[in-house]
Structures are given as C-alpha cells and as structure tokens.
Structure 1
Amino acid sequence: MSFKIAIIGAGSVGFTKKLFTDILCVPEFQDVEFALTDMSEHNLQMIKQILDTIVSSNKLPTRVTATTNRREALTGARYIISCVRVGGLEAYADDIRIPLKYGIDQCVGDTICAGGILYGQRNIPVILDFCKDIREVAEPGAKFLNYANPMAMNTWAAIEYGKVDTVGLCHGVQHGAEQIAEVLGAKSPSELDYICSGINHQTWFVDLKLNGRKIGKDELVAAFEAHPVFSQQEKLRIDVLKRFGVYSTESNGHLSEYLPWYRKRPDEITKWIDMSDWIHGETGGYLRHSTETRNWFETEFPQFLESASKPIDRAKRSNEHASHILEALETGRVYRGHFNLKNNGIITNLPADAIIESPGFVDRFGINMVSGITIPEACAATCMASINVQRMSVHAAVSGDIDLLKLAVLHDPLVGAVATPEEVWQMVDEMVVAQARWLPQYADAIPAAKERLAKSTVKTRDWAGAARRNVRSIDELRAEKAALKQAV
C-alpha cells in the first residue's frame, strides 16, 4: 500500500518516533510516505535524522520528508496526525505560574482548569487552520487524528467548526487497564476485558471482567489498597473509586485537578498526592517533566540516534491507537479501542454535542461506536461539569469573546472551589495579556485587559504551590539514571 501520512508537530521527537515505528510494524505500510512538519526547523531535522536512520537500518522503501511549510506537508495526505503544543513550554509556564498567584494549584493544567482552558484558546485557532488546509489540499475524505491536548476542546472545534473527519486519541484508557490488570494479579493485560466510557481524562471503567469473571467494586478497592506501590501513588483515585464505585482512567495528579475537592486547600493537597513521580500530583509536575525531557533530549541526541539503528521489533508495537486505526481502515482487520468523537447518543446521559471517549470498532467502513451506554450518575455529573466548561471554552476560542472565556474559567470545578469571581476576572486578564502573541482572536480585547490590570486592587501572592520540585539539571538526571541502573 502506498499513501501519505502527515504529522503536524513532528518536532515532538519521542512521540513522533513511536508513532512512526508503530505504523511500520504493519507489513502493508512499509511503502508509505511520511511528511513531517513543525515550526521548529531544528527539531524537524533531528526527528528526520532519527526516522531516516530507522528506514535505512531496516532497508525499507519508506519515504520521509520534512518541511516547515505545513500546507506542503498536508498536500495529498490521507491521514493527518496532530501532536502540537501551541506556545511551547514558554506559554505553558504561564498556565501554571499565573493561576498559582490566585491559589489555583495544578499538576498538569492541559485539559481543563485555568491552564487547560487557556491552552485551548491557543490551540483552537491553529487547529482550525489545520482543518482549512486539510479541506483544501489533503486527499478527499482525509482523516484527522488529534493527539494534542486539550483533547476534547481541540476535537470539538475540529468537528463543529473545522468540518473535518476527526477522531481524538489518548492512551489513558490503556494505562488504567494495565494498572487494574496488575492489581488483580493478571499475567497479562489481555486477560482483562472492560468497557470504559465518559469524556477524555474522565473516563470510567464501568464494567470489568478478568478471564470472564466479573470484578466488583469491593474486590477492586481491596486489590488497589493491597498493592505496595499503587496504594501510595493513587490515593485520590482510590478514594474516588470508593465513593463513585468505579475506577477512573486518569492519573492521580490529573484527576485531582478536574474535581473541586482535593486541591482547594494547600494543607490538604499533600494528603492526596505522591511525590515519587510528577504524574501523581506534584505542583506543575508535567511542566517540570517536559522541561527536563527537552533538555535531556538535546544533550543525549547521539544516543537516541544510535538506538534508531536497531531493527524494528513488531512485538514491541505500542498500544497507541493511531497505527491500529490505520491498519483497520486500510486492511479491514478489525480493531477495538476507545475513541473521542461527538456523542450523538453514544452515552445516553451526556449531551449530544459533547466530545465523549468510549468504545468503538474500526474496519474498512470507519470507526463504529458502541451506542446506548449509560454511565453512573456521579460519573455523569462530574463529566457534565467539565463538558459545560469545554463548550464555553470552545465557543470563546472561536469567537474571541473574553467575557465568555471568563465565564468558562469561573465554572471550572477547581477554579470555582478556590477563587472568587473578582479574582477569576483578573486572572484571565493577566493570562490573556501574558499570552497575547498566541491569542490573535483576543487582539481587540487586550488593551482593555491591560487597563483593568493597571487599576486592579485584587491581591495576589507569590506562591510556588503546595508540592513543587525544582527542574533537575542534565548532570542530576544523568546521576539519577546511573544510580537507578546500578541499583537494578
């Protein structure tokens, strides 16, 4: 088979390499063309070197091109994969830093909460530009696979306003299932069957079977509490499991910032998180991790390039959805996964216009979702709070309505648990002004926001958060890696 796959944001080097290798694990796909595009010429050249090394080492006919001209990359593409981070780490730092001044402590801040909402405002205009190019120059009927966060907002905008065949993809469901399989003593995650449904990052394991035997709440709670690692790392998740009756897909740190109960008091935050790794709730944890990862990659690039010369091992194909979806669409080999699409009755107790994440099957006819699923009422209530925020955020991003943006932030569960309306109004003004270069739709609103900030009497504080770690240097990372290797 010969067709073209465009990857936007291909400078996300590690993730692009994973997607590329996964797709080449499909025997029929070795003759495809990969068109890489990114704003960073430097990152593009690094990833192209790595992918060219993989191609030559495995003696494949695969073609790899790289260009900063996005439209050129998308021309004739059948599949377009997006993994962009608009504003990079510079804007992301403001997503964490500014809300902290108002007492809002986020672990990740890329889905909802103050940081996730502003992230969406930066991303959505760019996503709509992608969609315009796809409609105009990609292969007719091209499919857009969005990996970029905020997942639901980006996918919502692409479907409702971009008018492109879009599916949102995430790996939270797979990772949650791996955890459950481990605590239940399964020899392999394949022994676990499950139905997981909700919205991205708030998806719920509503039905579980281990080797055909149904697993109930009490058995699952006991299994997690008995696990020597997860009992400490997932305290908040386990508490939600006890109260809601079902386990959430998302990590302890992520889940903590989607709910109004666990991060609203600084002295309570440390009770629910674990500092062994960023993903368990550390303040600004993903920002620190992303910064360290970028620095590490720049320094250790020769080693990454050397590892690319090894033969592709099809047995190590990852569980990221993209390669499996493409395989099913092109070959007819059926794939079951969990996908982000507009609801339209798939989940009976969530709104029709919401972007939900739920099970589906893929074959030559497309992605066929399992419809008529009803999730537990508490799960639906939690999802609804986020859906309402997402809807307002998308509409604000498209219209450039700063008042609607402020209302979206005000209705965010964690923001509303911590900040007053007056504080929210000032915080949004401050964030919009700080990120003005990435927010063209708010250009007309920026001068008034600056005037309000100059006259503001709302007090803020200089606060690093309840559980902040410093970014580690390359030498520190190298020493920790060596110590870990010696311990093993």
Structure 2
Amino acid sequence: MSFKIAIIGAGSVGFTKKLFTDILCVPEFRDIEFALTDLSEHNLGMIKAILDKVVEANGLPTRVTATTDRRKALEGARYIISCVRVGGLEAYADDIRIPLKYGIDQCVGDTICAGGILYGQRNIPVILDFCKDIREVAATGAKFLNYANPMAMNTWAAIEYGKVDTVGLCHGVQHGAEQIAEVLGAKSRHELDYVCSGINHQTWFIDLRLNGRKIAKDELVEAFEAHPIYSQQEKLRIDVLKRFGVYSTESNGHLSEYLPWYRKRPDEITRWIDMSDWIHGETGGYLRYSTETRNWFETEYPQFLEAASKPIDPAKRSNEHASHILEALETNRVYRGHFNVRNDGLITNLPQDAIVESPGFVDRFGINMAAGITLPEACAATCMSSINVQRMSVHAAISGDIDLLKLAVLHDPLVGAVSTPEEVWQMVDEMVVAQAQWLPQYAHAVPAAKERLSKSAVKTREWAGAARRNVRSIEELRAEKAALKQAG
C-alpha cells in the first residue's frame, strides 16, 4: 500500500513518534509517506531526524517529509492527524494563571472550565483553516483524525463548520479499562469487555464484564477501595462511582474540573486529590508536566535520537486509536474502539448535535457506531451541563461574540460554583486581552475589554492554588529518574 498521512502539530515530538511507530507496526504500511508540518522549524527538524533514524534502523522504504507549509503537507493526504496546541505553553500558562486570580483552581484546564473554553477559542479558527485546506488540497474523501483538545469543541467545529469527515480520538477509555482490569485481578486487559458512553473526558463504563461475568457496582467499589495505590490516587473517582453507580473514564484530576462539587472550596480540594503525580488533581499539574517534558526533551535530545535506532516491536504497539483505525480502513481487519463523533441518535438522552464518545467498529466501510445507548440519568445530567457549555463556546468561537463567550464561561459547572457574574465578565475580558494574538475573531472586542479592565472594581487575588508544585529543574528530574532506576 502507498498513501500519505499528514501530521499537523508534528512538533509534539513524543506523541508524533508514538503514532509513527504504531502505524509502521502494520506490515502493509511500510511504503507510505508521512508529511510533518508545524509552526516551529526547530521542532520539525528534531522530530524528522528521529523518524528518519527509525526508518533507517528498520530498513523501511517509508518516506518522511517536513515543512512549515501546511498546504504542501496536506496535498494528496488520505489521512490528516492533528495534535496542535495553539498558543503553546505561553497561552496555556494564562489558562491556569488568570482563573486562579478569581478562585478557579484547575488541574488541566483543556476541555471545559475557564481554561478549556479559552483553549477552544484559540483552536477553532485554526481547525477551520485546516478543514479549508483539507477540502481544497487533500485526497478526495480524506479523513481528519483530531487528537487535540478541547476534543469535543474541536471536533464539533470541524464537522459542523469545517465540513470535513472527522473523528475525535482520545485514550481515556483505554486507560480507565486498564485500571479496572487491574483492580479486578484480570491476568490480561483482554479479559475485560466493556462499553463506555458519554462525552469526551466524561465517558462512563456502563457495562463491564470480566471473562463474560457482569461486574456490579459494589464489587467494583470494593476492588478499588482495596487497591493500595488507586484507593489513594482515585478518591474522587471512587466517590463518584459510589454515588453514580458507574466508573468514569477520566483521571481523578480531570474529572474534578468537570463537576461543581470537588474543587470549589480551597480547603476541601486536598481531601479529594493525590499529589503523587500531576494527573491526580495537582493545581496546574499538566502545565507543570508539559513544561518539564519540553525542557527535558530539549536537554536530553541526543538520548531520544539514540533510542530511535532501536527496532520497531509490534508487541509494544500502543492502544492509541489512530494506527488501528487506519489498519481497519485499509486492510478490513475489524477494530472496535470508542470514538468522538456527532451524536445523531447514538445516545438517546443527549442532544443530537453534541459530540459524543461511544463504541464503534471500523472496517473498510468506515467507522460504524453503535446506536440507541441510554446513559444513567446522573451521567446524562453531568454530560448535559458540559454540552451546553461546549455548544455556546463553539458558537462564540465562530462568531467572535464576546458576550456569548462570557455566558459560556458563566455556565461552566466549576466556574459557576466559584465565581460571581461580575468576576466572570472581568476574567474573560482579562483572558481575551492576554491572548489577543491567538484570538483574531475577538480583535474588534479587545479595545473595549481593555477599557473595562482599566475601570473595573472587581477584586482579584494572587493565588498559586490549593495544591501547586514548582516546575522541577533538569537536575532535579535527572536525580528523580536515577533514584527510580535504582529502586526498580
């Protein structure tokens, strides 16, 4: 087989390499072309050198090109994968820093909440530019695989406004299933059969079977509470499991942002989170992790390059959906997974226009979703709160309507539990002004926002959050990795 895959935002070096090696685990894909594109020539150069070394070490005919000219990369591409972060870590820092001034403590801030909504405002105009290029220069019927957050908003915009065949992909379901298999004592994750449904980062394990035996809520609660690690790291998820009756796919830290009950009181936050790793609820945890990862990669690049010379091991192929979807579409080897698509009857008690994450099968006929699923009422209710925010956020990003943007932020569950309307109005003004270079649709609104900020009497505070950690230095990271290596 010979076809072209374009990766937008290929400067996400570690993730790009994972996707690349996963795809090359498929024997039929040895002779394909990867076209890498990114705004950063520096990052492109690093990732191309790594991928070239992979190709060389494995004796493959695979072709790798790299260019900052996105349209050139997209020309003739059958598949386009996006893993962009518009505004990079600079804008992301504002997504965490500014809401903290108004009492909003986020762990990740990339899906909804104040940070996720503004992230969507930066991403959606760019996503629509991608879609325009895909329609004009990619192969006929090209498929757009979106990995970038905010997943639901990006996918919603690409389908409704970009008019491109789009599927959103995430690994939260797989990671949650691995946890469940472990606590239930499965010898392999393949012993666990499950159905998840909901929306991205709020997907629910509504059916669990271990070797064909249905797992009830009480058994799952007992298994998690008995686990020496997860009982501490997933306290909030376990509490939700007890109250809702089903386990959420998303991590403890992520889930805490989407519900209005666990992060609204600073003195209560530490009760529900765990500081052993960022993903369990640390304030700005993913920002710290991303910053450390970038610094580590820049400093230790020679090690990454050397590691690329190892043979590809198909047994180590990851559970990221992309390679499996491409394999199913091109070879007709059926793949089952959970994908983000427009609802259209897939989940009976969620809106038809929403982007849902639900089970589907892939073969040469495409992605075929299971329809007619009904969520437990409490799960549907929490999803609805987020969907309403997502819809307003998408429409605000398309129209450049700053009043609609403020209403979207006001209706966010955690923001609404913490902040007053006056605080939300000022916070959005502040975020739009700070991020104006990435928000072209709000250029007309920036002068008035600056004027309002100059006259505002709304008080803010300088606050690092309830559970903040400093970014570790390269020396600290080296010492920690050495200690882990010695211990393990």
Interval of TM-score (by shorter of Structure 1 and Structure 2): over 0.9
In structure 2, C-alpha distance between the alignment counterparts of 1:90 and 1:470, rounded to whole Å: 16
What residue is the counterpart of 1:221 in the other structure?
Answer: 221
1:177: how far off? 0.1
What residue is the counterpart of 2:375 in the other structure?
Answer: 375
In structure 1, C-alpha distance between the alignment counterparts of 2:161 and 2:487, rounded to whole Å: 53
1:52: how far off? 0.1
Deviating above 6 A after TM superposition, structure 1's stretches of 4 or more consecutive aligned residues are: none
In structure 2, C-alpha distance between the alignment counterparts of 1:355 and 1:307, rounded to whole Å: 38
What residue is the counterpart of 2:319 in the other structure?
Answer: 319
What residue is the counterpart of 1:133 in the other structure?
Answer: 133
Report the secondary structure of 2:349's partner residue: coil
What residue is the counterpart of 1:339 in the other structure?
Answer: 339
Are 1:207 and 2:231 counterparts? no
Residue identity opposite 1:431 in structure 2: M
In structure 2, C-alpha distance between the alignment counterparts of 1:484 and 1:181, rounded to whole Å: 25
In structure 2, C-alpha distance between the alignment counterparts of 1:328 and 1:178, rounded to whole Å: 23
In structure 1, C-alpha distance between the alignment counterparts of 2:194 and 2:441, rounded to whole Å: 42
Report the secondary structure of 2:111's partner residue: coil
What is the count of residue pairs matched by the alignment?
Answer: 488
What residue is the counterpart of 1:349 in the other structure?
Answer: 349
1:30: how far off? 0.4
What residue is the counterpart of 2:365 in the other structure?
Answer: 365
Residue identity opposite 1:19 in structure 2: L
In structure 2, C-alpha distance between the alignment counterparts of 1:58 and 1:193, rounded to whole Å: 35
Report the secondary structure of 2:66's partner residue: strand
In structure 2, C-alpha distance between the alignment counterparts of 1:136 and 1:425, rounded to whole Å: 39
Residue identity opposite 1:70 in structure 2: R
1:388: how far off? 0.1
1:232: how far off? 0.1
Q: State the Cα RMSD in Å.
A: 0.2
Residue identity opposite 2:206 in structure 1: V
Residue identity opposite 2:35 in structure 1: A
1:90: how far off? 0.1
In structure 2, C-alpha distance between the alignment counterparts of 1:303 and 1:104, rounded to whole Å: 39
1:37: how far off? 0.1
In structure 1, C-alpha distance between the alignment counterparts of 2:89 and 2:408, rounded to whole Å: 23
Are 1:106 and 2:119 counterparts? no
What residue is the counterpart of 2:151 in the other structure?
Answer: 151
When the two structures are superposed, what TM-score results if normalisation uses the length of structure 2?
A: 1.00
Residue identity opposite 1:402 in structure 2: I
In structure 1, C-alpha distance between the alignment counterparts of 2:186 and 2:104, rounded to whole Å: 39
What residue is the counterpart of 2:6 in the other structure?
Answer: 6
1:296: how far off? 0.2
What residue is the counterpart of 2:459 in the other structure?
Answer: 459
What residue is the counterpart of 2:118 in the other structure?
Answer: 118
What residue is the counterpart of 1:234 in the other structure?
Answer: 234
Report the secondary structure of 1:7's partner residue: strand
What residue is the counterpart of 1:31 in the other structure?
Answer: 31
What residue is the counterpart of 1:43 in the other structure?
Answer: 43
Residue identity opposite 2:237 in structure 1: R
When the two structures are superposed, what TM-score results if normalisation uses the length of structure 1?
A: 1.00
Residue identity opposite 2:205 in structure 1: F
- Give the unaligned 5+ runs of structure 1: none
Residue identity opposite 1:265 in structure 2: R
Q: Deviations over 1:288-325 (max 9, x none)?
A: 00000000000110000111000000000000000000
In structure 1, C-alpha distance between the alignment counterparts of 2:263 and 2:42, rounded to whole Å: 39
In structure 1, C-alpha distance between the alignment counterparts of 2:371 and 2:211, rounded to whole Å: 24
Report the secondary structure of 1:444's partner residue: helix
Residue identity opposite 1:468 in structure 2: R
In structure 2, C-alpha distance between the alignment counterparts of 1:307 and 1:94, rounded to whole Å: 34
Report the secondary structure of 1:65's partner residue: strand
In structure 1, C-alpha distance between the alignment counterparts of 2:84 and 2:394, rounded to whole Å: 17
Residue identity opposite 1:446 in structure 2: V
Are 1:61 and 2:64 counterparts? no
Report the secondary structure of 1:228's partner residue: coil
User: 5 Å matches for 1:293-442?
Assistant: 293-442=293-442
In structure 2, C-alpha distance between the alignment counterparts of 1:181 and 1:294, rounded to whole Å: 32
1:350: how far off? 0.2
1:194: how far off? 0.3
Residue identity opposite 1:372 in structure 2: G
- Give the unaligned 5+ runs of structure 2: none
1:245: how far off? 0.1
In structure 1, C-alpha distance between the alignment counterparts of 2:466 and 2:177, rounded to whole Å: 30
In structure 2, C-alpha distance between the alignment counterparts of 1:385 and 1:396, rounded to whole Å: 17
Residue identity opposite 2:459 in structure 1: K
Residue identity opposite 1:207 in structure 2: D
Identity of aligned residues (%): 90
Residue identity opposite 2:71 in structure 1: R
